[in-house]
Chain A
Amino acid sequence: MTEKMCMVVSEGTFDKAMMPLIMGTTAAATGTEVHVFYTFFGTKLVTKKANPKLPGIMRLFTGVFVKKMKGVGIGNYNEFMQQAIDLGVNFYACSTTMNLMGVKESDLLPGVKVLGAAAFLKLASESKTTLFIG
């Protein structure tokens, strides 16, 4: 059976946005089935309008980071997200926080599924690796 890996993302800043994509693309490229669950402030990262910035005053330097990432082949957040989708990484938005954050199903990126905690916990219980990014 294919090995599974789960991640939970609860923050919506640029650094927290990139980490699951770095881990997720690598795991998917290694043949692992990857599931990433976005909750609370992370939920907006799987919307079409996602444009994460670094936290606090560092937000002003997000562009510098993006430029550097383009230089090393990673590209901007949306391009990297597309790479992950192409590699078969599964993305989920938490149904409850979608309500709290005012995110509608039509706002989500194509391919992102809406999931509840019980369904995610089932995936997590079947996974060898579970990471919390928050």
Chain B
Amino acid sequence: MRGYAITVGEILLEKDATLDAKGLMCPMPIVQLAKKVKELKSGQVLELLADDVGAKEDVPAWCSRTGNQLVGTEEDGKLFKFYIRIK
């Protein structure tokens, strides 16, 4: 079963899970992200919410190193939203 549809910029995505990492600082958003990704299946989309400024660069770097696909990002004031398709 898929999650519900959301739009990120111009892209329509179906999000399967959300990880709320607000209030956590480096390296915890990445550590929690790696744990969460293990629970999900290939092709599913995870929404990650973070407000650590470092996450802006860390999450794309983590995705490129691990082969998970960063399909969209959104910035809402101090909040960053990342949409990651599990490899």
Determine whether B24 belongs to the interface, using a CB cutoff of 8 Å to chain A: yes
A72 to chain B, nearest CB (A): 4
Determine whether B3 belongs to the interface, using a CB cutoff of 8 Å to chain A: no
Given contacts A29-B62, A30-B62, A31-B66, contact A72 B31 (CB under 8 A): no
Q: Cβ of A29 and Cβ of B33 under 8 Å apart?
A: yes
Determine whether B8 belongs to the interface, using a CB cutoff of 8 Å to chain A: no
Given contacts A25-B31, A30-B34, A87-B31, contact A74 B25 (CB under 8 A): yes
Determine whether A22 belongs to the interface, using a CB cutoff of 8 Å to chain B: yes
A87: chain B residues at CB < 8 Å are 31, 34
Number of interface residues of B (CB under 8 A): 17
B25: chain A residues at CB < 8 Å are 72-74
Determine whether A99 belongs to the interface, using a CB cutoff of 8 Å to chain B: no
Determine whether B27 belongs to the interface, using a CB cutoff of 8 Å to chain A: yes
Q: Which residue on A lies nearest to B24, using beta carbons?
A: A73
Q: Cβ of A74 and Cβ of B30 under 8 Å apart?
A: no
Q: Cβ of B27 and Cβ of A26 under 8 Å apart?
A: yes
A125 to chain B, nearest CB (A): 22
Q: Which residue on A lies nearest to B52, using beta carbons?
A: A72
Number of interface residues of A (CB under 8 A): 13
Q: Cβ of A29 and Cβ of B24 under 8 Å apart?
A: no
A71: chain B residues at CB < 8 Å are 23
Interface residues of B (CB under 8 A from A): 23-28, 30-35, 52, 58, 62, 65-66
What are 19 A-B residue pairs whose CB atoms fall within 8 Å in the complex? Answer: A22-B26, A25-B27, A26-B26, A26-B27, A26-B30, A26-B31, A29-B27, A29-B31, A29-B33, A29-B35, A30-B62, A30-B66, A31-B65, A72-B24, A73-B25, A73-B28, A74-B28, A83-B31, A87-B31
